[in-house]
Structure 1
Amino acid sequence: MLKDTYEAFKVTIEDKVAHIQMSRPEAMNTMNKAFWNELPEIVRTIDNNALARVIVISSTGKHFSAGMDTSVFTTPRPAADHDRFVMAEAFRLNVKAIQSSFNCMEEARVPVLFACHGAVIGGAIDMITAGDIRWCTKDAYFCIMEINIAMTADVGTFPRLQRYIPEGWVKELAYTGRKIDAAKAKEIGLVNDIYDTHEELIAGVMATAREIASKNPLAVTGSKVLINYGRDHTTAETLDYIGLWNTAMFPPPHMAEAFAARAEKREPVFPDLAPVRTEPM
């Protein structure tokens, strides 16, 4: 189950919506070592135990996140018998471990929604593109910062960002390190909408989250699975997979409850997703 406290996050669950807030505003919510360990733990605990039907991720302070904390780059000095090729192989595995921290959001059965404000920089771009839907405040700006510090973005920006915005924009942002404002982010499809204030942003995103949470959880997770599958496969392959999904999980009792609720002018009552086993049998 969830812990009472985390170093990098605050977590609350209400109305079947989990709200994960980055909670290091004094450090511009940079992604320190605790961040990379805690985020997948929190998301997977919520998802695996069916503690909520939707996850909302937001932040505190002036900025959403300034990206990777420099402390993550500090590693022990290699032993004398470890040459640069051996260390490069170890570095590759470390990068894969960091990448997996964001994979948890794409792999979650429930939708993951992002409410962004202020600076969304570097690793924060990697983070938000692993979610399902993004919104922001009018003061938000977005930047693939890695090129400005002489490196290539490596945690997920490139394979994911081009799913949401045109390739030309991905390349311009990646090659130049320029920032784009909220209006441009909406224009090119990175965010769905813009809010004037942080308070209005959170209220709006939470309202959408509650609306999603009121729907049949099996249908929501099915939609996420099939949309993501269709993104990576041909139309023919996706249609075949949709047929298999509905053959196995088409839910007449859930549909009957939806129709009855509409006729009786009440909210439908659907079962939550079942917890999944995470330990060996």
Structure 2
Amino acid sequence: METYRSIEIVHKIPNSPVFNLYLNRPSVRNALSGDFFAEFPKALASLDQNPNVSVIILSGAGDHFCSGIDLKTLTSISGGAQSADRGRTGERLRREIKTMQDAITAVEKCRKPVIAAVQGACIGGGIDIITACDLRYCTEDSFFSVKEVDLAITADLGTLQRLPTIVGYGNAMELALTGRRFSGSEAKSLGLVSKVFSSKDAMDEGVRAIAEEIAAKSPLAVTGTKAVLLRGRDLTLDQGLDYVATWNSGALLSDDLFEAISAHNQKRRPSFSKL
């Protein structure tokens, strides 16, 4: 398995289809470095293509999930883009931003569900990451902030596009304009996370149980559900219905369907082939 500087893939339980992906710079609260933006999409692509992987749990090594983009990285991007030609400076900066956006969007492009498990700080770029994830959970002591406005930046890696669909337009506007810190319990009330756990150990156990439950389902149905929900954000109701009809016309008549029906009739757990 490939080694990385900013992240780590861990397979905790042999033969389990659930893999852990860690942001792995705990000494700086997992601040996002230049390495991260190169390595994160590579890691997700490798997990996506691995038939032994059904679900990915994304979390932070140490006491925090993510403190945002490393300020050194931010300074490097803004400083490195400078040239005498303002047009070329702007074009280069746009390419840098688009590359970083693509690294976060890699979560959505991954066919397998990605579950965010947040402890401690989830700030700035951390919000970008979790809003791209499929499910989100946190601990009681976690805290969140859409922090970019306090750094004189308009958040540009996905939060302003994804957060409104999760917590509502008004809530997203308030959080983004104030940059205020909010708690795990408020994140739950806003709908940003599905459940708040009492401790990191409780979260690790609870999220793994959820991941294993999802991993036991038909991989065709799981990947299809993720794909259709994501695509549906950009479609009208009629277009969304047409899209899922087309999707199922290609995937519905599978061995998974017949296995699910057979298992139901025989009152046993279904066993599906890897994807």
* TM-score band w.r.t. shorter chain: over 0.9
The 3 A distance-change label for structure 1 pair 232 and 77 is closer
Contact 1:8/1:38, CA 8 A, preserved across alignment: yes
TM-score normalised by structure 1 residue count: 0.92
- Structure-1 residue corresponding to 2:232: 230
* 1:101 lines up with 2:99 in the alignment: no
Give the one of 168, 172, 175 matched to 1:173. 175
Deviation per CA, 1:238-281: give whole Å up to 9, x if none.
111111111111135322211322344433211121xxxxxxxx
Q: Deviation at 1:177?
A: 1.0
The 3 A distance-change label for structure 1 pair 33 and 78 is closer
Give the one of 241, 252, 258 matched to 1:256. 258
Q: Deviation at 1:85?
A: 2.3
* 1:16 lines up with 2:17 in the alignment: yes
* SS class of match (1:266): coil
Contact 2:18/2:54, CA 8 A, preserved across alignment: yes
Contact 2:64/2:120, CA 8 A, preserved across alignment: yes
Q: Counterparts of 1:156 and 1:107 in 2: how far apart (Å)? A: 14
- Structure-2 residue corresponding to 1:55: 56
- Structure-1 residue corresponding to 2:144: 142
Q: Deviation at 1:223?
A: 0.7
Q: Judge which range, 71-80 or 229-238, deviates more.
A: 71-80
- Structure-1 residue corresponding to 2:185: 183
4+ runs deviating over 6 angstroms: none
| Number of residue pairs aligned between Structure 1 and Structure 2 | 270
- Structure-1 residue corresponding to 2:66: 65
Q: Deviation at 1:79?
A: 8.0
The 3 A distance-change label for structure 1 pair 109 and 78 is closer
Deviation per CA, 1:194-249: give whole Å up to 9, x if none.
00100111111111011000000001011111111222111111111111111111
Gaps of 5+ in 2: none
TM-score normalised by structure 2 residue count: 0.93
Instruction: Report the residue type matching 1:8 in the other structure.
Output: S
Give the one of 201, 204, 212 matched to 1:202. 204
* SS class of match (2:21): strand
* SS class of match (1:160): helix
Give the one of 220, 241, 244 matched to 1:242. 244
Contact 1:33/1:71, CA 8 A, preserved across alignment: no
Contact 1:54/1:110, CA 8 A, preserved across alignment: yes
Q: Deviation at 1:193?
A: 0.3
Q: Counterparts of 1:250 and 1:77 in 2: how far apart (Å)? A: 50
- Structure-2 residue corresponding to 1:84: 86
- Structure-1 residue corresponding to 2:113: 111
* SS class of match (1:164): helix
Q: Deviation at 1:78?
A: 6.5
- Structure-1 residue corresponding to 2:35: 34
The 3 A distance-change label for structure 1 pair 233 and 27 is same
Q: Counterparts of 1:242 and 1:92 in 2: how far apart (Å)? A: 34
Q: Counterparts of 1:226 and 1:211 in 2: how far apart (Å)? A: 20
Give the one of 3, 6, 14 matched to 2:4. 6
* 1:268 lines up with 2:264 in the alignment: no
- Structure-1 residue corresponding to 2:163: 161
Q: Percent identity?
A: 37
Instruction: Report the residue type matching 2:73 in the other structure.
Output: V
RMSD: 1.6
Q: Counterparts of 2:246 and 2:140 in 1: how far apart (Å)? A: 43
Q: Counterparts of 1:253 and 1:212 in 2: how far apart (Å)? A: 18
Q: Deviation at 1:77?
A: 5.3
The 3 A distance-change label for structure 1 pair 77 and 21 is closer
Q: Judge which range, 8-17 or 116-125, deviates more.
A: 8-17
Instruction: Report the residue type matching 2:115 in the other structure.
Output: L
